[in-house]
Structure 1
Amino acid sequence: MDGGGRLARSLTTRRPRSNPKPAADFGGRLLPARSSARSRHEMSQLPLRDDSTPKLILQIERRLPRRFGIAATVALLIGTLGFGVIKGGHLAKVNEALSDTRNAFANAAGFRITSLSINGRKQLSQEEVLAIGGVNGRSSLLFLNAADVRDKLKASPWIADATVLKLYPGRLSIEIKERKAFALWQQGGRMSVIAEDGAVLEPFVASRFTNLPLVVGKGAQTHARDFLALLAQYPQIKPDVKAVIYVGERRWNLRMNSGLDIRLPEHGVANALTTLTKLDKEEKLLSRDITAIDMRLPDRLTVRLSEEAGKARDELFKKSKRKGTDA
């Protein structure tokens, strides 16, 4: 207290300001401590963006919509997945799986094919028609493309035309016009069933086509209709014909059941067949022991005897010669 009875210092006790304890780094060295207020001030002064960023990039970032990066990432993943599917050859399987899925939903919704009619088929079975058209037990009437089914049917060599109708909710009607099996065509060691216009219907494997006429040679399939129609006008010859052979894409040979070859001319085929019919009727030419008849020249007919007939003729000629000598 002073002389007046007053305290010489304040009643409030001030704590001595202690120096902040230096901080140590990870190496054991002491680092000078900074006040928290100063640290907050310095942090508030840090730049939010690097000033070295090009302006063009900044403008692009401002103009891009929000969440563009997420959308771009998703698009990249989808594109990568699609590329892998295509590159790996799995696209057809993926499409088939998607088609089966949507057809399953449509069938569950009441669009299952419950009634089916196929008209006009003769050679093809119902299962073959459906397989050609791409219709199976998983198909739904809702997602069935009638135009695609029709195009697939018409692409078959057996089917000349087709009509496909969808009758909701579950009826499918198919009408086809089949090509007729006309002949068997042999070329290069292969035998096929052909239609009248020469279209190849299928390889010859079924026994039901064994009664069809046989045509042989390059180009024979497109010229057989006209020649066989002409041959049908000569009933004395046609039943004994085993095959007709197109030679050099110019003329025809007849191969008879007996093995006899008849070489027809390039022109005047009808006259040659008329002459052949007359000779067979009058002289039984086709029943004789001969292997070939050459009618290629218009003013003559040449025959080739079989080996046995040739020997018999030579013996007969020798006997005739001896008799002439004795006389």
Structure 2
Amino acid sequence: MWHDVRLLNGIANVLLTLFVVTVLAGCFLWFAQQPFFTLTVIQVQEAEGKTLKHVNALTVRGVALPRIKGNFFTVDLDAVREAFKAVPWVREATVRRKWPNGLVVAIEEHKPLGTWGEDGRLLSIKGDVFTANLAEAEEEVNLLRFYGPEGSEKEVVMRYEELKRGFAVIRLEPVLLELSERYAWRTTLNNGMTVRFGREEGRISMREQMGRLLAVYPRLAAQVKNGIRGIDLRYPNGLALRADGMVPDIGGQ
């Protein structure tokens, strides 16, 4: 082996390369640990096309900053993103480094739609459940009420939007929407009337039920002088009407 010049040269080149890489890595590690790269600037801004109403410096300092570890080179950007997502009202955060000692965090806030369940949590317009100050949410919007099994939040919001468009035809609007554990739908409108749709299955869809209701509601409202308290659409060819002092069935095709 010692007489093989080509082999010896190859071994020497490998050893030299390893030595250079080790020296460079050591230099970089020394350079990266210099105080100059300690994170001292964290710039929080709104995501493009968004506005910030609730996230402030106090909550950021109290919740996010204590969770951020490392310097410009060693900080884990995913960990920073999760730290900011723990701040109340933050739906999403994107993070990038800013040379030589800073981070830029772009935040998208939740937009509240209503409350979810009975435990004081909020439901956003995108179907996300989050925890924040209810009083702050009420300053931004009249909170609706939503109920449903865990995991059904996005479906409930989608259904609310459909019902909102449908009831707008008769100048009414849902203020409560509930999906039961048996997946039966019930809504309460802003005039106090309750509408039961039941489970959406078989040959009767919720859209068909809405169409049947919208077709007869003006006539029903005109005939029932005391006001309609509830309508039950869980019938294949008709509906049940509930009003003060009467509980008639109204059928028909």
Give the drift of 1:130: 4.5
1:246 aligns with 2:187: no
Q: For 2:153 and 2:85, locate their aligned partners in 1 and report how far apart those are by CA, in whole Å.
A: 21
Question: Which residue does 2:23 correspond to in 1?
Answer: none
Question: Which residue does 1:256 correspond to in 2?
Answer: 189
1:125 aligns with 2:62: no
Give the drift of 1:144: 7.3
Aligned residue among 72, 83, 93 for 1:152: 83
Q: Secondary structure in 2 aligned to 1:153?
A: helix
Percent same amino acid among aligned pairs? 16
Ranges in structure 2 where 5+ consecutive residues have no aligned partner: 1-32, 249-253
Cα 1:203–1:215, aligned 2, differ >3 Å: closer, same or farther?
same
Give the drift of 1:110: 8.6
**CA deviation map 1:232-276 (0-9, x unaligned):** 331135744221122334121121233322111323111111222
Q: How does 1:192-231 map to 2 (within 5 A)?
A: 192-196=121-125, 198-203=127-132, 205-206=134-135, 207-219=138-150, 221-231=153-163
Question: Which residue does 2:28 correspond to in 1?
Answer: none
Give the drift of 1:195: 3.0
Relative contact order, higher structure (CA 8 A, sep 6+): 2
Q: For 1:133 and 1:190, locate their aligned partners in 2 and report how far apart those are by CA, in whole Å.
A: 25
**CA deviation map 1:38-79 (0-9, x unaligned):** xxxxxxxxxxxxxxxxxxxxxxxxxxxxxxxxxxxxxxxxxx
**Matching residue's letter, 1:213:** L
Q: For 2:185 and 2:178, locate their aligned partners in 1 and report how far apart those are by CA, in whole Å.
A: 5
Question: Which residue does 1:269 correspond to in 2?
Answer: 206
Aligned residue among 85, 95, 104 for 1:163: 95
**CA deviation map 1:97-126 (0-9, x unaligned):** xxxxxx9x94xx695725734232524423
Q: For 1:204 and 1:249, locate their aligned partners in 2 and report how far apart those are by CA, in whole Å.
A: 31
Bigger strand fraction: 2
Q: How does 1:38-187 map to 2 (within 5 A)?
A: 106=35, 113=40, 116-120=43-47, 122-127=52-57, 128-134=59-65, 145-147=75-77, 148-154=79-85, 158-168=90-100, 170-186=101-117
Ranges in structure 1 where 5+ consecutive residues have no aligned partner: 1-102, 314-327
Bigger Rg, structure 1 or 2: 1
Q: Secondary structure in 2 aligned to 1:133?
A: helix
Question: Which residue does 2:6 correspond to in 1?
Answer: none
Counterpart contact for 1:280–1:286, Cα < 8 Å? no
Counterpart contact for 2:172–2:191, Cα < 8 Å? no
Cα 1:280–1:134, aligned 2, differ >3 Å: closer, same or farther?
same
Question: Which residue does 2:29 correspond to in 1?
Answer: none
**Matching residue's letter, 2:129:** V
**CA deviation map 1:213-235 (0-9, x unaligned):** 32124345242122112113311
1:301 aligns with 2:236: no
TM-score by length of 1: 0.50
Q: Secondary structure in 2 aligned to 1:298?
A: coil
Which moves more between the two structures, 196-205 or 139-148?
Answer: 139-148
**Matching residue's letter, 1:259:** G
Give the drift of 1:197: 5.4
Counterpart contact for 1:183–1:195, Cα < 8 Å? yes
1:292 aligns with 2:233: no
Q: For 2:37 and 2:90, locate their aligned partners in 1 and report how far apart those are by CA, in whole Å.
A: 34
TM-score by length of 2: 0.62
Q: For 1:112 and 1:266, locate their aligned partners in 2 and report how far apart those are by CA, in whole Å.
A: 55
Aligned residue pairs total 201
Give the drift of 1:295: 0.9
